[in-house]
């Protein structure tokens, strides 16, 4: 039977150690805010203010009107009117611009005659994703301008207003402004919790072995499960404080909408954090050295949480083999829960499969960590 008194004594010892190690405590509390600031501001998938050069070979009112359309769009930043196509090519080679717009001679004349008018788009394809998005923006702007000119021409001829046979009406749910920050910040919380949980506890057992205090613990009546609960409780409290800091920063600084239940968010975070802490203790018990435990924690937490959770890269676009691997990454399910609560406002009736996986993940890792710790104590 687990003794609450012995568990509390181990927890008190761990709390005192955390409070005495001021540098580690400050680092643990500052890490969520630091990571949120770094990734929240630096990591963005929004493509706007695209550096653009324009080469106008026509100089007609129609070509100048098209240039003003590019200037008036927040997607493009027209930095200069180039004097030749070679100027645009050199600027692309030097990474000064991403897009070059070349307006063909007699552009206005062809438009007035109802003929096709040429506009060439030169795009730096080094970053294929950004290049395709920029190309789509430019094509959409040119098509919209073309449709407007056709409508004007028909009005002048008395043919009435030109209307498209299909009128698309787009409604964006959950992230109506299409800000990448709104789905990056919730995903960051999962990455931060995973890193902190594993790093906080990956050094605990290894530190006891290196400092020689494990032998003293072995001479006490404390059982392995009590030792595990005691060490986890101190770091669990610190991890939940980090969660509150990250949540406050996400809502207060980055203005991420919070549409769901905060209590459910903290419940899911507690389960996920507990599993991460157990994984850190397991690594610490296996490694026995702080350096090896720290390296193993970074490799097994940060990389899967960052790359295989759907936080940045869509899982649907990954090869099927990698998609299968993501099913055993707990951060994948926690990211889904975070985005569901933050952006969609859904509850347990929708997210229960992900919650069930996190509970199973926490239980399994606790059992594994307890068995491994019992082997080390024996």
pLDDT of 192 reads 85
pLDDT at 43 over 80: no
Domains in the chain, number? 2
Assess whether 151 and 22 both reside in one domain. Answer: no
Assess whether 203 and 266 both reside in one domain. Answer: yes
Assess whether 255 and 329 both reside in one domain. Answer: yes
pLDDT at 32 over 90: no
Assess whether 54 and 38 both reside in one domain. Answer: no
pLDDT at 63 over 80: yes
pLDDT at 217 over 80: no
pLDDT of 128 reads 79
- Tell me the mean pLDDT in the region 193-198: 83
Name the residue range of residue 82's domain: 50-156
Between 365 and 216, the more confident residue is 365
For residue 17, tell me if it sits in a domain: yes
Assess whether 200 and 284 both reside in one domain. Answer: yes
pLDDT of 18 reads 78
Assess whether 13 and 72 both reside in one domain. Answer: no
With bands split at pLDDT 50, 70 and 90, how would you rate the model's confidence at 153?
low
For residue 163, tell me if it sits in a domain: no
With CA atoms as reference, report the closest residue to 361 among 353, 349, 373, 372: 353
With bands split at pLDDT 50, 70 and 90, how would you rate the model's confidence at 357?
very high
For residue 162, tell me if it sits in a domain: no
pLDDT of 157 reads 61
CATH number at residue 112: 3.40.1710.10
For residue 164, tell me if it sits in a domain: no
The pLDDT tens digits for 166-181 are 566 777 787 777 777 7
Among 156, 190, 216, identify where a domain stops: 156
- What distance in Å separates the CA atoms of residue 231 and residue 187, rounded to the nearest whole number? 27
Assess whether 296 and 335 both reside in one domain. Answer: yes
Assess whether 62 and 198 both reside in one domain. Answer: no
For residue 139, tell me if it sits in a domain: yes
With bands split at pLDDT 50, 70 and 90, how would you rate the model's confidence at 154?
low
Bridging pattern class, strands 99-103 and 119-123: antiparallel
- Tell me the mean pLDDT in the region 339-344: 89
pLDDT of 164 reads 53
Question: Is pTM, for the whole model, over 0.85?
Answer: no
Assess whether 255 and 372 both reside in one domain. Answer: yes
With bands split at pLDDT 50, 70 and 90, how would you rate the model's confidence at 266?
very high
pLDDT of 363 reads 93
Among 141, 156, 171, identify where a domain stops: 156
- What distance in Å separates the CA atoms of residue 337 and residue 353, rounded to the nearest whole number? 10
pLDDT at 376 over 70: no
With bands split at pLDDT 50, 70 and 90, how would you rate the model's confidence at 158?
low
Assess whether 356 and 230 both reside in one domain. Answer: yes
Assess whether 244 and 263 both reside in one domain. Answer: yes
The pLDDT tens digits for 66-96 are 889 899 888 899 998 888 888 999 999 888 8
Among 125, 156, 187, identify where a domain stops: 156
Assess whether 36 and 76 both reside in one domain. Answer: no
pLDDT of 272 reads 93
For residue 285, tell me if it sits in a domain: yes
Identify the three-state secondary structure at position 95.
coil
The pLDDT tens digits for 290-316 are 788 888 888 888 888 888 888 877 888
């Amino acid at each position: 039977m687990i003794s609450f008194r012995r568990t509390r004594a181990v927890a008190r010892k761990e709390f005192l150690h955390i409070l005495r190690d001021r540098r580690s405590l400050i680092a643990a509390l500052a890490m969520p805010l630091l990571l949120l600031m770094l990734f929240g501001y630096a990591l963005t998938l929004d493509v706007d203010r695209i550096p653009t050069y324009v080469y106008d070979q026509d100089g007609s009112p129609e070509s100048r009107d098209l240039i003003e359309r590019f200037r008036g769009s927040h997607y493009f930043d027209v930095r200069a009117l180039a004097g030749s196509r070679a100027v645009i090519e050199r600027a692309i080679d030097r990474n000064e611009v991403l897009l070059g717009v070349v307006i063909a001679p007699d552009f206005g004349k062809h438009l007035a005659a109802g003929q096709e008018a040429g506009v060439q788009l030169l795009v730096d394809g080094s970053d294929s994703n950004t290049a395709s998005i920029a190309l789509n923006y430019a094509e959409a702007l040119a098509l919209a301008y073309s449709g407007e000119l056709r409508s004007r021409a028909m009005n002048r001829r008395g043919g009435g207003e030109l209307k498209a046979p299909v009128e698309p009406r787009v409604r964006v749910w959950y992230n109506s402004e299409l800000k990448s920050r709104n789905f990056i910040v919730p995903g960051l919380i999962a990455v931060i919790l995973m890193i902190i949980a594993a790093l906080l506890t990956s050094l605990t057992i290894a530190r006891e072995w290196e400092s020689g205090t494990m032998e003293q613990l072995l001479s006490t009546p404390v059982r392995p499960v009590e030792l595990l609960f005691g060490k986890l409780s101190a770091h669990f409290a610190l991890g939940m404080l980090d969660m509150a800091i990250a949540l406050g920063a996400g809502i207060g600084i980055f203005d991420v909408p919070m549409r769901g239940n905060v209590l459910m968010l903290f419940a899911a975070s507690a389960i996920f954090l507990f599993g991460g802490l157990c994984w850190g203790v397991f690594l610490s018990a296996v490694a026995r050295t702080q350096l090896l435990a720290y390296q193993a924690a970074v490799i097994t937490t940060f990389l899967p949480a960052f790359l295989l959770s759907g936080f940045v890269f869509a899982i649907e676009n990954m090869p099927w083999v990698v998609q299968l691997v993501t099913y055993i990454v707990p951060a994948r399910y926690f990211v889904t829960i975070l985005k569901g609560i933050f952006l969609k406002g859904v509850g347990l009736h929708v997210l229960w499969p992900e919650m069930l996986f996190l509970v199973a993940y926490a239980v399994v890792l606790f059992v594994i960590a307890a068995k491994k710790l019992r082997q080390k104590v024996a």
